[in-house]
A and B are shown apart, each in its own frame.
Chain A
């Protein structure tokens, strides 16, 4: 049996959790889904539409808000009771926060950020390594259950198998004694001046730009294309461009007609913020850079040689 830990907020199950259910369904093992916290009853009712054998909703004192201590204790109880062969979870920020602790608490293996399951006994899993420049097939060792987390977007929600009738929902009350984290309500920073989500064209710079002195070159290209300037995280971390121009999982999600990536490698946390662009162009000196896997058009070359020529060609 595969136990899927689903994540919900205000009763709403996130998309990545549905993807984890699809991953579990595609192994042909029976699937049980568990969801915790305030709102888990509403989430469980939605989850019961999937073709699964059971949905478990855990609530109780100490689980109103997500905390690593609270959720680890609650899930540890369910995993210990149900003895699944695998526990599948979407690799979200919340999962990063509790899943390694949960596996360590139960003294079991955990494999993170997987992108595919390879059939066979035992199952093996594909995960990126070295910033997605390489991939590895990995086997998990030691006693079950084995914990596996899946990169967002690795499975398609429209492949979800629905049940002919809703799956049975079981409510469990968890006794959580010690919660050391005291969370405040989540918030967003004040609205920012630049709204990249509305931009039709974006020129985005990554670490390949090398130095802040070279940002004007990218700006000149952006102006020639009537595009907004954006960046990958390291550029904003270094203060070369303001944080509000960051694209990716911790920045803005954009969907322009044109996204031109200059010296960006294509890490998953960047890609989730721009893969919805209609036309993606990458200029990168490394012909093996993962960004080319996504690009419609690519130039394997040095941005300092190519970009001035593109500006010239646009002005010609």
Chain B
């Protein structure tokens, strides 16, 4: 089975965010980056499917030169090769532009399966996978918690709201958006990291003349509307005061 996995590079989770001078993006010149969390689970699922059914895993990312770090990480974990749609503009692009760029890289590969994460930690569109499936003309299913390959087709377990699930059958080729927690992640071994240095990262041109679909007019810290009582002081003082208010004011025990 030939599988493409889309990996997005996002700002590290615990980073302190600052808005840039134009007030339309964060200052990311000196930021630290990491692989978008559900994408790591998508990669792991692809590697497991390859172990069971054979084939090839191709990792794909769209963005500036720096995104090669996540591609290298994917190769170190066991992907066979990588495609990089390189463009600085894709760092802040909307989901249609990103899906178009990914389609330009994945389309010619004629893969059996495309895996993406269900959502990115930065823009949080929850769109790129589904739009990519439409652009590639293949069937899709979202928020997937289990994947089985049966007789040349897929059976996947979709997560629904409030603890409900549903099995769905799909023909191949198909695209799945993967939910965090679908499997247990492996980490790169030293051997994997060494092997990754020899693997190919091929550059693909971004489609030209894609008009933006949406524009961030302003980016800001949300206004606080609730009056939270912040308890200050040393840890010991704050702890004593918290226990007092819970007993005497909130009366929760």
Which A residues have a C-beta under 8 Å from some C-beta of B?
68-69, 91-93, 96-101, 103-105, 109-113, 124, 128-142, 180-189, 200-201, 207, 225-226, 233-234, 236-237, 239, 243, 249-253, 257-258, 278-279, 281-282, 286-288, 290, 292-302, 305-306, 309-310, 312-314, 316
Contact = CB atoms under 8 A, between A and B. Distances in A.
Nearest first, the 9 closest Cβ-Cβ pairs linking A and B are A237-B181, A309-B239, A182-B169, A180-B139, A258-B252, A100-B130, A109-B213, A100-B127, A104-B134
Contacts of B240: 309, 313, 316
A181 B169 contact: yes
A151 B104 CA distance: 31
Contacts of B160: 93, 186
Contacts of B180: 233-234, 237
B212 A306 contact: no
25 contacts: A68-B140, A69-B139, A109-B214, A131-B13, A136-B218, A137-B218, A180-B170, A181-B169, A182-B168, A186-B164, A189-B165, A250-B161, A258-B252, A279-B246, A287-B230, A292-B228, A295-B226, A296-B229, A299-B238, A302-B235, A306-B235, A309-B240, A313-B236, A313-B240, A316-B240
A134 B213 CA distance: 21
Interface stretch (B47-55, B75-83, B116-124, B200-208): B116-124
A141 B236 contact: no
A100 B131 contact: yes
Nearest to A305: B235
Nearest to B223: A135
Contacts of A302: 235
B224 interface: yes
A93 B139 contact: no
B131 A101 contact: yes
Nearest to B166: A186
B92 to A, nearest CB: 11
B161 A310 contact: no
A233 B246 CA distance: 27
Contacts, number: 248
Contacts of B163: 188-189, 250-252
Given A186-B164, A201-B253, A134 B130 contact: no
Contacts of A99: 130
Given A101-B134, A113-B126, A299 B231 contact: yes
Contacts of A305: 235
B161 A136 contact: no
Contacts of A292: 224, 228, 230
Contacts of B96: 104, 109
Interface string B216-237: 1111111011101111100110
A97 B129 CA distance: 10
Given A138-B215, A183-B168, A297 B161 contact: no
Contact residues of B: prevailing secondary structure: mixed
Nearest to B11: A130
B165 A130 contact: no
Interface string B94-138: 111001000000000000000000100111111100110111000
Nearest to B216: A136
B58 interface: no
Given A234-B180, A237-B181, A296 B165 contact: no
A217 to B, nearest CB: 13
Contacts of A207: 13
B213 A294 contact: no
Contacts of B232: 300
A298 B229 contact: yes
Given A129-B123, A136-B219, A180-B170, A294 B226 contact: yes
B243 A298 contact: no
A236 B242 CA distance: 28
